[in-house]
Amino acid sequence: MDGMYKIKKSGYIKQSADTKRDARGGVGTYLTKLGPKESRETIAKNNYDGKSWERKMDKTDVAVEVKTTATKCDAKRDVYKHEGDIPNTEIQKYHIRDDKT
């Protein structure tokens, strides 16, 4: 849940800018339409392509519902890219998971 607190404190969801290790589709904020009812494993496998998804499970504790004009950027996964940061005013709701599945 550290990410949620950082988003609230900073006032925005920060875009990914490191195109060497992350942000394969270029600088932007990456999102998925997979909702909080999906398992943590399903979300992690989708969001973190490759072998690193297991180490990223802690990043699936909170789902953030946002209003955005993001466009699909990955043909194989449910991943969308929003140009720039997403301000807190565009956040509709935080969904906090109470399970570890």
Tell me the domain boundaries of the chain: 2-18+28-96
In this predicted structure, what is the pLDDT of residue 81?
96
Per-residue pLDDT of the chain in tens (101 residues, 90 and over written 9): 788 999 999 999 999 998 888 888 899 999 999 999 999 999 999 998 777 899 988 889 999 999 999 999 988 999 999 999 999 999 999 999 876 54
Read off the pTM: 0.87
Across 1-101, the runs of DSSP E, i.e. the strands, are 12-13, 29-31, 62-66, 71-72, 80-82, 86-87, 91-96
In this predicted structure, what is the pLDDT of residue 2?
85
d(CA 41, CA 60): 8
Q: How far is CA 60 from its chain centroid?
A: 8
In this predicted structure, what is the pLDDT of residue 44?
93
d(CA 31, CA 84): 12
